[in-house]
Amino acid sequence: MFALRCLFRKQARHFVTFSTWKSLTMQNRMSSTSNPVAAVCQMTSTPDKEANFSVGKRLVEAAREGGASMVFLPEAFDYIGSSREETLALAESLTGDTISRYTQLASKLNVWLSLGGFHERAHDWESDRRIYNSHVIINDQGSLAAVYRKSHLFDVELPGRGVSLKESAFTIPGPALAPPVQTPIGKVGLGICYDLRFPELSLALQRQGADILTYPSAFTVATGAAHWEVGSHSTRSCDMFLFPSSNLPVS
């Protein structure tokens, strides 16, 4: 068995206005301890990386204080740029300041972290100037346990709603799935946001033994409503889905 706790933070310009804990218990076949706790966190990201880290750090600390052995942060936990140019300018490598600070935090608090959508500079950054959308798992020793680079990129045009997003314009699709990661709460399968719409990914992870499928997300209001129903064909033999979310400033 493991307990799931959802930590919600609603912010106005990064100021935390309230928090609510909800808990439930679910069966977990692969759990390594009797009652590990997972915390799923929400936050509102902006282009201010320092302020975003401050919020993320407080969420992780609060979750650890509540007994969590693994904490899930959403897609774009590091930042959400206001333009393509700003998004690329703020990107970092996996050895950059943002991931380094979270590895130090994980080690200090002795907690596992799921960092659900990191703007990672691609391998040919100097010549190509494109990024990966990467889901990073950090273990309780502060080491990178897994990196999954998003396979399915989100391109959408909704003129009537003022939504125009083309992730493929500056993001490289990841080349492969990451095997499920053994964590204190069970085997975690890694996806990101729009990957949810492609059941082959979840089925492949389930066949590799995933107990939990994660889809950290930063959907817009207009597009997000169409993505939250999960088909039963994807959930067989998996204990649960986790959807930590980050709010996008698009209605």
Residues assigned a catalytic role? 75, 150, 193
Which residue in the block uniquely carries the two structure tokens 């999960």? 230
Judge residue 22's burial from the number of C-beta atoms within 10 Å of its C-beta, 0-12 exposed, 13-18 middle, 19 or more buried: exposed
Token pair for 88: 């690329």
Assess contact for 26 and 227: CB atoms under 8 A.
no
Assess contact for 134 and 95: CB atoms under 8 A.
no
Q: What are phi and psi of 192, to 5 degrees?
A: -145, 120
What's at 70, amino acid-wise?
A: M
